[in-house]
């Protein structure tokens, strides 16, 4: 490697040829080959790698998969060398060759010696900044993750609590209904009901289709009172236990008269109690099914949201990601927020689905906060050429020009401490632009705020 190879790199602006020569003398030229790894995540960053030409992918191992977090494809970009200033410094990612080229590999100790020789104060400043930044970043990330996890966990617990409680109540009631069913059959047997009578009663029971009935609660209450009065007139002592299931199933007085004609006086009460308990059992079983299905749907939504069974870059259903995000934020959308969906016909796109879900979470959460929890969120999707467009519009007061101008700046927020999901628009922008080659923008609207996300259907491998 020659001095001329480094002289044009912006990284070395201000260094003379002697200094560049010292770098080359202290370092080694290393070739880049596609697929070959030069340094590895988590290992001591004993070398400083400076790209001269070609390209490297920076890869991190997340969970069970490798994820590309960046690319060194501009001459002068560098990685590693952290042990020049921190004994605990490690590579933050693995450097894997993409296109053939060269890097200059300089030992961290040589880098420190040259820095101290050329600019002693600079070495001390870098060491202090590196240590302080790492400490602050670690603390902030831990706190941010806990706040975000706590918010989503609380919302999910709220969502699961209702169907879980309903299933538990129904299961408890089901035990009593089954016991009543058995007791009524025992009483019928003791009353020596005939096979003909039981068959006729069962035929009457099967005429009623509870699932097809959609009576108003007030109408059901009126019908329950009417049936209870009829039962009392016919000497039925447990009318309060029998009338409610019959009314809820849609039984009328004419049906009761037909049942009385089939049964004799001694068997009227146990016979109607048996019919009522079958309806009660069916209703409670239906409640258990609905509640447990809701819990299963929530678990499936969490699985989809977290993408815990998906690879990094995968064919991704944008609509499914939006829907799973809406489920995760359901506790914030239930009271006062209306969600209007206008989904177009979309192809699956190549994307990091879990990261996209983080973006949808941020945008929808921001929309809810902008409206103070009351208003309408309009989600529109459409395919446009080689891209997919997602628009998220709220009916809040909108952004002022000053806020809109700074919305994508790092660390900028208009929320109070402790509010929000912990994912700023600057991170959302990086996920869309750097990870997916798309764009995210705030569109001018007469009222409210519209965020537009544009993502290519196919990723550019040379991006």
Strand partners, 103: 30, 51
In terms of pLDDT, which residue wins out, 122 or 427?
427
Which residue ranges form the domains of the chain, and what is each CATH number?
3-118 (2.60.120.10), 161-294 (no CATH), 312-456 (3.30.565.10)
Residue 422: predicted pLDDT: 40
Span of 12-21, 195-204, 211-220, 374-383 with lowest mean pLDDT: 211-220
Name the pLDDT band for 46 (thresholds 50, 70, 90): very high
Residue 99: predicted pLDDT: 93
Please give the backbone phi and psi of residue 385, each rounded to the nearest 5 degrees, phi first: 65, -125
Residue 291: predicted pLDDT: 85
> Could you read off the pLDDT of 88-131 as tens digits, one per residue?
788 888 999 999 999 999 999 999 899 888 887 766 667 666 66
How many angstroms separate the Cα of 12 from the Cα of each of 71, 85, 380?
Answer: 20, 19, 48
Instruction: Calculate the average pLDDT of the chain.
Output: 83
Rounded CA separation 432/439 (Å):
6
Residue 230: predicted pLDDT: 93
Name the pLDDT band for 13 (thresholds 50, 70, 90): confident
What pTM, to 2 d.p., does this model score? 0.50
How many CB atoms are located within 10 Å of the residue 76 CB? 15
How many CB atoms are located within 10 Å of the residue 406 CB? 14
């Amino acid at each position: 490697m020659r001095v001329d190879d480094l002289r044009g790199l912006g990284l070395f602006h201000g260094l003379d040829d002697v200094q560049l020569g010292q770098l080359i003398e202290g370092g080694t030229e290393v070739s880049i080959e596609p697929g070959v790894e030069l340094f590895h995540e988590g290992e001591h960053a004993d070398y400083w790698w400076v790209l001269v030409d070609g390209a490297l992918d920076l890869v991190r191992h997340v969970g069970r998969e490798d994820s590309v977090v960046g690319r060194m494809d501009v001459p002068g970009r560098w990685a590693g060398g952290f042990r020049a200033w921190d004994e605990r410094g490690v590579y933050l990612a693995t450097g894997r060759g993409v296109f053939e080229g060269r890097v200059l590999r300089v030992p961290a100790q040589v880098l420190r010696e040259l820095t101290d020789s050329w600019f002693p104060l600079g070495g001390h400043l870098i060491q202090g900044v590196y240590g302080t930044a790492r400490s602050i970043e670690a603390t902030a990330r831990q706190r941010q993750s806990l706040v975000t996890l706590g918010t989503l966990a609380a919302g999910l617990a709220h969502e699961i609590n209702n169907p879980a409680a309903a299933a538990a109540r129904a299961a408890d009631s089901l035990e009593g209904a089954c016991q009543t069913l058995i007791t009524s059959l025992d009483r019928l047997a003791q009353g020596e009901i005939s096979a003909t009578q039981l068959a006729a009663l069962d035929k009457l029971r099967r005429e009623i289709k509870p699932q097809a009935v959609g009576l108003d609660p007030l109408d059901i209450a009126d019908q329950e009172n009417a049936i209870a009065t009829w039962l009392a007139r016919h000497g039925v002592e447990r009318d309060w236990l029998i009338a409610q299931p019959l009314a809820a199933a849609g039984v009328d007085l004419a049906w009761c008269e037909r049942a009385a004609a089939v049964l004799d006086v001694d068997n009227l009460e146990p016979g109607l109690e048996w019919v009522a308990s079958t309806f009660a059992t069916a209703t409670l079983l239906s409640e258990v099914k609905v509640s447990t299905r809701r819990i299963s749907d929530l678990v499936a939504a969490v699985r989809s949201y977290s993408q815990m069974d998906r690879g990094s870059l995968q064919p991704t259903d944008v609509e499914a990601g939006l829907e799973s995000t809406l489920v995760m934020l359901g506790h914030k959308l239930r009271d006062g927020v209306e969600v209007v969906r206008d989904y177009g016909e979309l192809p699956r796109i190549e994307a990091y689905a879990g990261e996209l879900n983080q973006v949808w979470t941020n945008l929808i959460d921001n929309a809810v906060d902008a409206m103070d929890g009351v208003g309408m969120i309009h989600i529109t999707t459409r395919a446009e050429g080689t891209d997919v467009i997602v628009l998220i519009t709220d009916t809040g007061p909108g952004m002022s020009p000053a806020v809109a101008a700074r919305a994508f700046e790092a660390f900028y927020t208009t929320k109070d401490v402790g509010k929000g999901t912990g994912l700023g628009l600057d991170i959302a922008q990086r996920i869309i632009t750097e990870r997916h080659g798309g764009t995210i923008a705030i569109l001018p609207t007469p009222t409210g705020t519209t965020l537009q996300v544009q993502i290519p259907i196919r990723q550019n491998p040379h991006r």
